[in-house]
Amino acid sequence: MAVVFCRVASPRRKERASVLFNLVACVCHPRRTAYRNRGRYKMVIHEVRILYVYGDEFTIKPLADAHLGNKYCDVKAIKEYLSETNENTRIIGTGDGVDAIITRDLKRYMKHSDATETDAIIDEQTDGIYQMLFPYKEKIIGLMDGNHEHSILKYHGTSITKRLCDRLGCKYLGYSCFVRVVFHEADGGRVRTVMIYAHHGWGGGSRTQGADLTKFSKHASNIDADIFLYSHVHRRQSDQIARLGAVGKHAVAKPKHIFICGTFLKTLSDTADATYAEIAGYPITSIGNINIKIKPTKSWVDVTSDV
């Protein structure tokens, strides 16, 4: 086997390592090279088909950054949000459903923030979110990882989200995914397809109102989807990117709808014990997740939300 080395002028060690890794990867993993050459990328693409009658309206509920198991998680607000589910509701978990911060996490673990009662922190939190979601399991499109679940997977070799999906019988969606929602009428009638792209999100919490929207809007500009779901930054915001599309023989407005989905984790405590967000100086955010309404129309669909 041939291993290719190259001399890199950059003084940054990480850049040198990255270049060498990519060169070796292309030699050692020809299938990876083949995928790149064909323009294919491996990620979860899930399809959901929903039967509808003209005039029906559907709700997408992204369950985002619940952080169950943290003392400052608003459990009552989560239950109220989920209780609004009806036959036309679908749920997508966009990550950080559980707090998943264990005692070995020297950077983030604080005893006063830990709401668990036993030493089995991960098991207790996973059981808790399972019990919350179980009554709605038939409405769950799938669940994603957040950075908190991913840390457990990375350092401790077990996937909280995958185990939870197996118990609920729903799709494991990874850290980012496409969900193709196909609304179709009976007997071969109209079909309206909406592509959802979801990513848990990245980066620290911004200090300005528009920074996160700008960051995610730039990201969405390179991706072909209709609805974009982002989390992680604990805000509830929305925006649109104007776009022209075609349905049948008609040109129609098909804007990209960008949503930052919110959180159920309080920024501040009601005692002298400071939260992680307070210490980091993150902006105060409102509690709750968004509700996205999708209504199939004659031309395509109407998309609205409560933010």
Report the 10 Å Cβ neighbour count for 162: 15
Q: Is 269 exposed, middle or buried (0-12, 13-18, 19+ CB in 10 A)?
A: middle
Could you give the domains of the chain?
44-305 (3.60.21.10)
CA distance linking residue 62 with residue 199, whole number of Å: 11
Output the pLDDT for position 232: 97
CA distance linking residue 157 with residue 149, whole number of Å: 11
Output the pLDDT for position 208: 87
Output the pLDDT for position 23: 40
The alpha carbon dihedral of 149, 307, 266, 58 has a sign of negative
CA torsion 123-127-128-133 (nearest 10°) is: 140
Beta bridge partners of 59: 89, 293
Which residues have a Cβ under 8 Å from the Cβ of 218 and sit 6 or more positions away?
Answer: none
CA distance linking residue 139 with residue 162, whole number of Å: 17
Task: Tally the residues of the chain.
Answer: 307
Which residues have a Cβ under 8 Å from the Cβ of 32 and sit 6 or more positions away?
Answer: 25, 26
Q: Provide long-range contacts, Cβ within 8 A and 24+ apart, for 285-288.
A: 285/234, 285/235, 285/236, 286/236, 286/262, 287/74, 287/77, 287/262, 287/263, 288/77, 288/81, 288/236, 288/262, 288/264
CA distance linking residue 120 with residue 253, whole number of Å: 51
Edge-to-edge strands, sheet with 301-305: 171-172, 140-143, 89-93, 58-63, 292-296, 301-305
Output the pLDDT for position 188: 86
Task: Walk along the chain (307 residues) and give the pLDDT tens digit of each residue.
Answer: 454 444 544 545 555 545 444 544 443 444 444 334 455 667 999 999 999 999 999 999 999 999 999 999 999 999 999 999 999 999 999 999 999 999 999 899 999 999 999 999 999 999 999 999 999 999 999 999 999 999 999 999 999 999 999 999 999 999 999 999 999 999 889 999 999 999 999 997 788 889 999 999 999 999 999 999 999 999 999 999 999 988 788 898 899 999 999 999 999 999 999 999 999 899 999 999 999 999 999 989 999 999 9
Are the C-beta atoms of 144 and 94 separated by less than 8 Å? yes
Output the pLDDT for position 40: 65
Are the C-beta atoms of 268 and 284 separated by less than 8 Å? yes
Task: Give alpha helix (H) positions in the chain.
Answer: 13-28, 30-37, 75-83, 121-133, 147-156, 160-168, 211-220, 276-280
